[in-house]
Amino acid sequence: MNLVVGIVDGTHIPIDAPTQNEQQYVDRHGDHSINVMAVCRPDSSVGPTHSPGSVHDPRVYRNSTLHRKWVETYREGGVILGDSG
């Protein structure tokens, strides 16, 4: 039996061009942004993580605390629901 341990989604938040590492914050549309991913857990708590706009969703996830917890705790019998992004 699989247990839903969270629901995940991501979005790009527009920002002004930073003065340092500016190119890292350019997203696929050529705009400056931060890629924000949030997970809502069954207890309604939300766990956010973020990366520069040039970082794709799978990498944001792999670098997150959520991924570390998933590998350590939830992997057996649990699922995280999300879209194909």
Q: Which tens digit of pLDDT belongs to each residue from 26-50?
A: 998 999 999 888 888 777 677 777 7
Q: What pTM, to 2 d.p., does this model score?
A: 0.69
State residue 64's pLDDT score: 82
User: Cα(82)–Cα(30) distance, rounded to whole angstroms?
Assistant: 25
Q: What is the pLDDT of residues 39-85, one digit of tens each?
A: 887 776 777 777 888 888 888 888 887 777 777 776 667 788 888 76
DSSP per-residue codes, the chain: --EEEEEEEEEEEE-PPPSSSGGGGB-TTS-BEEEEEEEE-TTS-EEEEEEETTS-HHHHHHTSHHHHHIIIIITTTEEEE----
